[in-house]
């Protein structure tokens, strides 16, 4: 007797639970010796395949003990069973179970990828095996380009690539014509002669006649177990072992892992390409999500950049004092306490460099037949300095003029082009509510911070506006320019105490470039928070889309998963493949989103230059990072459910 290699004791298998529980195998006792060629024969439905799947560790028995090479399989983890399938057994199925999108040599190589054989070795070996099986010209053919017999030979090569010490063939000739069937049987007999242990399931006595030992199964029990003396036994032969031992060196195992990862990656990309439309539609959710986030952030940044630019152009050491409690106070129009006397009191302060009041009114102005609406600002001569405005032509008014109500004024460039399109305005008169004002200066053509660009502005001495035109004794605001070296906070505190003493209460508020900056960064912060919330929602929606498609993909490819598991893929191999797929969809989607958003920005730069866009590298990096996280989170569930499939259930599914 040869050495016992497989040992089954009291194996039972039942399907279903409780009432509907059916026992298919009733206590099978078998031992298979090394080097045997065994045929399991029995009518259809007798439990042959069920038994075979248990022998091949594709399925687990309900009770009993099964030892492979002396090791009890009952205590084994899923990955240890996968290792047995990968390194010890070689499966041949009635319907070949090849992967349709891979060619012959790639199909043959699958088990060796999972075994961590390096690329050159496994390619060489796969071609060698195909050659040995007479398929040297079919190496690059896909299964659909092969006959049944050829496909079965490819599957035999696949069973042999990791050694295939025990070949399990479930009705290997069942789908073949008699000639191809004979060829396959010839190959199996030859393999047995080389030392492979072969277990063959058939319902055909002619096929069973090739075997040295014939086990008959009926209704889930062994009926007979006989030796066929006509067939020679090869038990005494030593197995012509293909080296399946893997080095334990860290470098080697790392290489094997990287190799498996790479294969999983190629698989994932192939799957994505073969489902192009579905992949693109899935990506669309991510693309739109990322694109909107990146664009909106760019818009918000652009807007706040522009505001900050405006503020810095205004000069840094100015403080604007306004009536009321805060910006936008509805009652501030009725607070009329800021006066010229306040102005004079401020002028005497040690920290004040210059100070200008502003009184303003919006009114119609007229030159000849031309009439327009303009903002008339009553200011002092310091005003132009405070705002950094330059006189392009003529002169500004002097300090004494600003107090003595002369009927002169300075106009901005827009006003010049509107009211004096063809002539030099200096010395000409503009009528404001019927009062003539002589133009003494024109400002250079330059936009001023926080001003609508199409508005017209006329600057006249505040005394002129207050005494001759609007007839009011309070002023709209006071702008103080502090001396260099005075901290804005100190100046603000002094102004507050001075005006509080004068007015008896705080009926004014101040804005310095400092406080404006602060309030803007606060607003921007709120805005960013809002955008982030929208971004999170849209990305979650995109992620759910990805999860949906991945679940469909798992369902669609259940058979592929089953085949991969049958030839020895670990749970982690399957998981990796599906995770890579969802992460790739998300990262590519994210990058496309960034690309489209920048493209939009680029187009807008020309089409609508007034829309400020400012892309930040940080937001782009965060966007792509987020999309990969989404890939992992939403891909995890489908990938896990794929990895947890029972190999035999997965295989059985169509």
**Residues that bind Mg ion in the complex, under the rule CB under 5 A:** 49
How many beta carbons lie within 10 A of that of residue 379, not counting itself? 25
Which does residue 625 bind out of Mg ion, ligand ADP, none, counting CB within 5 to 8 angstroms by kind? none
Residue 212 touches which of Mg ion, ligand ADP, none (Cβ within 5-8 Å per kind): none
Question: Is 47 a binder of ligand ADP (CB under 6 A)?
Answer: yes
Q: Pick from 36, 50, 271, 516: which binds ligand ADP (CB under 6 A)?
A: 50
Site membership for ligand ADP, residue 24 (CB under 6 A): yes
Q: Which of 5, 37, 49, 301 binds ligand ADP (CB under 6 A)?
A: 49
Nearer to Mg ion, 49 or 87 (CB): 49
**Rg of the Cα atoms in the chain:** 44
Of 17, 18, 20, 44, which one interacts with ligand ADP (CB under 6 A)?
Answer: 44
C-alpha closest to that of 403 among 441, 338, 356: 356
Query: Which partner in Mg ion, ligand ADP, none is near 15 (CB below 5 to 8 A by kind)?
Result: ligand ADP
Name the minimum Å distance from CB 98 to ligand ADP: 21
Alpha-carbon distance of 174 to 94, in angstroms, equals 6
With both helix axes pointing from N to C terminus, report the angle between 558-566 and 513-556 in degrees, rounded to the nearest 10: 70
Give 473's DSSP letter.
S
CB of 46 to Mg ion, least distance (A): 9
Shortest Å distance, C-beta 40 to ligand ADP: 9
**Burial class for 361, CB neighbours closer than 10 Å (0-12, 13-18, 19+):** middle
Counts for the chain of helices (H) and strands (E), in that order = 20, 20
Question: Which among 47-55, 97-105, 246-254, 602-610 is the span making contact with ligand ADP, rule CB under 6 A?
Answer: 47-55
Which region, judged by CB under 6 A, interacts with ligand ADP, from 37-45, 232-240, 326-334, 539-547? 37-45
* Residue 46 engages ligand ADP in binding (rule: CB under 6 A): yes
Of 530 and 652, the one with the shorter C-beta distance to ligand ADP is 652
Greatest Cα pair distance in the chain: 135
List the structure tokens of 548: 């949906």
Choice between 187 and 648, CB closer to Mg ion? 648
d(CA 217, CA 40) in angstroms, rounded, equals: 7
Which residue's entry shows tokens 């506006």? 465
What does 540 bind: ligand ADP, Mg ion, none (CB cut-off 5 to 8 Å by kind)?
Answer: none
Segment interacting with ligand ADP, rule: CB under 6 A, options 43-51, 406-414, 445-453, 486-494: 43-51
Which residues touch 217 (CB under 8 Å, ≥6 apart)?
40, 41, 42, 46, 47, 48, 51, 223
| Residue 24 touches which member of ligand ADP, Mg ion, none, C-beta under 5-8 Å by kind | ligand ADP
CB closest to ligand ADP, residue no: 49
446: phi then psi, degrees, rounded to nearest 5: -155, 140
Among 32, 38, 39, 48, binds ligand ADP (CB under 6 A): 48
Residue number, nearest CB to Mg ion: 49
Q: How far is the CB of 16 from ligand ADP (least distance, A)?
A: 7
Establish if 20 lies at the interface with ligand ADP (CB under 6 A).
Answer: no
Q: Which among 306, 294, 304 is positioned nearest to 598, based on CA atoms? A: 294
As to burial, measured by CB atoms within 10 angstroms (0-12 exposed, 13-18 middle, 19+ buried), residue 522 is: exposed
What's the closest the beta carbon of residue 203 comes to Mg ion, in angstroms?
A: 8
Task: Determine the interface stretch with ligand ADP among 40-48, 99-107, 180-188, 262-270 (rule: CB under 6 A).
Answer: 40-48
Of 45-53, 182-190, 498-506, 591-599: span binding ligand ADP (CB under 6 A): 45-53
Closest approach of Mg ion to the CB of residue 52, in Å? 8
354 binds, among Mg ion, ligand ADP, none (CB under 5 to 8 A by kind): none
How is residue 474 annotated by DSSP? B
Residue 534 backbone phi and psi in degrees, to 5: -65, -40
For the CB of residue 651, give the shortest distance to ligand ADP in the complex, in Å. 11
Q: Find out whether 479 and 386 touch, Cβ atoms under 8 Å.
A: yes
Asked if 166 and 88 count as a contact pair (C-beta separation under 8 A), the reply is: yes
Distance of alpha carbon 506 from alpha carbon 323, whole angstroms: 9
Is the CB of 52 or the CB of 575 nearer to Mg ion?
52
Q: Which is nearer to ligand ADP, 50 or 295 (CB)?
A: 50
- Shortest Å, Cβ 99 to ligand ADP: 23
CB of 62 to ligand ADP, least distance (A): 12
Nearest CA-CA partner of 84 in 619, 650, 566, 517:
566
Smallest distance from the beta carbon of 53 to Mg ion, in angstroms? Answer: 9
Q: For residues 579 and 634, what is the distance between their CA atoms, to the nearest angstrom?
A: 9
Cβ nearer to ligand ADP, comparing 23 with 128 = 23
- The position carrying tokens 């399990």 is 168
15 binds ligand ADP (CB under 6 A): yes
Q: What is the DSSP string of 284-348?
A: HHHHHHHHHHHHHHHHHHHHHHHHHHHHHHT-SSEEEEEESSSTT-GGGGG----BHHHHHHHHT
The Cα–Cα gap between 321 and 91 comes to 88
Q: Which H/E stretch holds residue 48? A: helix 48-55
User: What residues pair up with 320 in beta bridges, in sequence order?
Assistant: 479, 511
Report the residue number, 176 or 379, with the smaller CB distance to ligand ADP.
176
Cβ closest to Mg ion, residue 201 vs residue 343: 201
Near ligand ADP by CB under 6 A, which window of 38-46, 365-373, 539-547, 629-637? 38-46
- Tell the smallest beta-carbon distance from residue 171 to ligand ADP (Å): 8
484-514 in b/e form (b: 16+ CB < 10 A) is eebebeebbebbeeebeeebeeebbbbbbbb
Q: Residue 45 binds which entry of Mg ion, ligand ADP, none, with Cβ cut-offs from 5 to 8 Å by kind?
A: ligand ADP
Binding site for ligand ADP (CB under 6 A): 15, 24, 42, 44-50
């Amino acid at each position: 007797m040869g050495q016992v290699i497989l040992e089954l004791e009291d194996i039972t298998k039942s399907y279903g639970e409780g009432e509907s529980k059916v026992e298919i195998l009733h206590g099978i006792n078998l031992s298979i010796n090394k080097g045997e060629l065994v045929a399991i024969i029995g009518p259809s439905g007798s439990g042959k395949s069920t038994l075979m799947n248990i022998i091949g560790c594709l399925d687990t028995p309900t009770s009993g003990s099964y030892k492979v090479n002396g090791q009890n399989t009952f205590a084994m983890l899923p990955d240890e069973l996968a290792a047995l399938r990968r390194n010890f057994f070689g499966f041949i199925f009635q319907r070949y179970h090849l992967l349709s999108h891979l060619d012959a040599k790639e199909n043959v190589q699958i088990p060796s990828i999972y075994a961590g054989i390096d690329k050159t070795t496994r390619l060489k070996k796969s071609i060698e095996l195909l050659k040995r099986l007479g398929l040297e010209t079919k190496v690059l053919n896909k299964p659909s380009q092969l006959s049944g017999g050829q496909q079965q030979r490819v599957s035999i090569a696949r069973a042999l690539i990791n050694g295939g010490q025990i070949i399990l063939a479930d009705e290997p000739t069942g789908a073949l014509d008699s000639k191809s069937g004979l060829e396959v049987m010839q190959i199996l007999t030859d393999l047995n002669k080389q030392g492979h242990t072969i277990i063959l399931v058939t319902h055909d006595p002619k096929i069973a006649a090739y075997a040295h030992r014939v086990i008959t199964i009926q209704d889930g029990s062994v009926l007979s177990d006989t030796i066929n003396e006509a067939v020679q036994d090869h038990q005494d032969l030593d197995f012509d072992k293909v080296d399946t031992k893997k080095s334990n060196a860290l470098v080697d195992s790392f290489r094997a892992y990287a190799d498996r990862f790479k294969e999983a990656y190629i698989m994932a990309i192939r799957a994505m390409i073969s489902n192009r439309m579905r992949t693109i539609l899935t990506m669309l959710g991510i693309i739109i999500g990322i694109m909107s986030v990146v664009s909106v952030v760019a818009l918000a940044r652009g807007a706040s950049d522009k505001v900050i630019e405006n503020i810095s152009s205004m000069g840094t050491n100015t403080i604007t004092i306004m009536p009321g409690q805060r910006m936008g106070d509805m009652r501030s129009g009725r607070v009329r306490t800021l006066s010229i006397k306040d102005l004079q009191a401020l002028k005497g302060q040690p920290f004040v460099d210059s100070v200008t009041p502003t009184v303003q009114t919006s009114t119609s102005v007229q030159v000849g037949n031309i009439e327009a609406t303009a903002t008339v600002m009553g200011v002092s001569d310091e005003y132009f300095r405070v705002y950094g405005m330059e006189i392009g032509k003529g002169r500004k008014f002097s300090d004494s003029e600003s107090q003595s109500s002369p009927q002169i004024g300075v106009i901005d460039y827009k006003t010049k082009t509107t009211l004096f399109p063809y002539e030099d305005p200096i010395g000409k008169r503009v009528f404001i509510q019927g009062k003539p004002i002589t133009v003494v200066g024109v400002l250079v053509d330059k936009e001023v911070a926080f001003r609508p660009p199409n508005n017209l502005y006329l600057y006249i001495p505040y005394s002129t506006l207050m005494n001759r035109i609007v007839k009011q004794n309070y002023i709209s605001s006071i702008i103080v320019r502090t001396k260099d070296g005075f901290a804005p906070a100190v100046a603000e505190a002094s102004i507050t105490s001075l005006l509080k003493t004068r007015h008896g209460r705080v009926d004014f508020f101040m804005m310095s470039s400092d406080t404006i900056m602060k309030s803007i960064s606060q607003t921007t912060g709120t805005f960013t928070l809002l955008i982030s919330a929208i971004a999170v929602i849209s990305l979650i929606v995109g992620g759910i889309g990805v999860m949906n498609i991945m679940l469909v993909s798992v369902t669609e490819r259940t058979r592929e998963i089953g085949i991969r598991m049958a030839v020895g893929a670990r749970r982690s191999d399957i998981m990796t493949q599906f995770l890579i797929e969802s992460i790739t969809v998300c990262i590519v989607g994210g990058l496309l989103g960034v690309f489209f958003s920048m493209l939009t920005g680029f187009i807008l730069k020309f089409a609508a230059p007034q829309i400020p866009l400012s892309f930040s590298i940080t937001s782009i990096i965060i966007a792509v990072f987020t999309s990969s996280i989404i890939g992992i989170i939403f891909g995890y569930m489908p990938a896990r459910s794929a990895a947890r499939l029972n190999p035999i259930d997965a295989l059985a599914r169509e």
